[in-house]
């Protein structure tokens, strides 16, 4: 069993080849316990699949005002169960509201109870009024030959607008031409995407991509490509 984030298909394949096919990915948090479990079949179908919501747990997808959205629509994930904490020991937090835990995740809930996660609300890119999740840009980048992994982020330009950037870790088959072609896929991004090659992506103590570090590197470098 694994938890803490989505399981890439390549990692799933390696795990099944080396360890076992009896694999489950658990979605949850310390504040609310386990919420959903995904099988290998679900992950193969969609790497964003968090799994089916567990008995005794209620998940709602709501808009920025806390109003539930229609089934299958994208929104903020909130969770209720008898395992949801009442709050943190010190200070108040907007993460707990009327018995709900506001997870900070962006996702969808299908009519059959399948929960998929698209990213974190804190990571949303606001590009000239268009809200874009980094995962959408990263998925396009990772379709290019030789791209090992990618991370999208935004940097404010000299005119005060947020501009989309993507950091790429490349392998031997990488070519700038193929990558440029891959990034021409419509992404609802209002301007060109700048990109930079790195040896590895910066990560925090939890192993998650540190987009703040990427922003600082982008501001201090002239290596960006359009």
Summarised one tens digit per residue, pLDDT across range 212-225 is 899 888 877 654 55
Domains and CATH numbers, the chain: 2-122 (2.30.38.10), 124-219 (3.30.300.30)
Say what the pLDDT of residue 11 is: 82
Summarised one tens digit per residue, pLDDT across range 121-141 is 888 888 777 778 888 888 888
Summarised one tens digit per residue, pLDDT across range 77-128 is 999 999 999 999 887 788 999 999 999 999 999 988 899 998 888 888 887 7
Other Cβ atoms within 10 Å of 103 Cβ, number: 22
């Amino acid at each position: 069993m694994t938890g803490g984030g989505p399981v890439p298909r390549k990692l799933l394949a390696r795990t099944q080849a080396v360890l076992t096919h009896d694999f489950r990915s658990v979605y949850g948090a310390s504040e609310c316990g386990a919420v959903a479990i995904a099988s290998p079949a679900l992950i193969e179908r969609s790497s964003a699949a968090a799994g089916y919501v567990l008995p005794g747990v209620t998940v709602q997808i709501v808009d920025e005002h806390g109003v539930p959205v229609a089934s299958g629509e994208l929104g903020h994930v909130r969770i209720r169960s008898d395992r949801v904490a009442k709050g943190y020991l010190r200070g108040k937090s907007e993460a707990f509201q009327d018995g709900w835990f506001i997870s900070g995740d962006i996702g969808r809930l299908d009519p059959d109870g399948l929960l998929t996660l698209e990213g974190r609300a804190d990571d949303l890119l606001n590009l000239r009024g268009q809200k874009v999740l980094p995962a959408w840009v990263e998925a396009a980048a990772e379709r290019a030959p030789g791209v090992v992994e990618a991370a999208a982020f935004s940097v404010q330009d000299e005119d005060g607008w947020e501009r989309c950037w993507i950091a790429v870790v490349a392998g031997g088959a990488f070519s700038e031409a193929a990558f440029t072609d891959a990034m021409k896929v419509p992404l609802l991004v209002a301007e060109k995407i700048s990109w930079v090659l790195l040896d590895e992506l910066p990560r925090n103590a939890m192993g998650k991509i540190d987009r703040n570090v990427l922003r600082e590197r982008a501001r201090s470098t002239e290596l960006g490509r359009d």
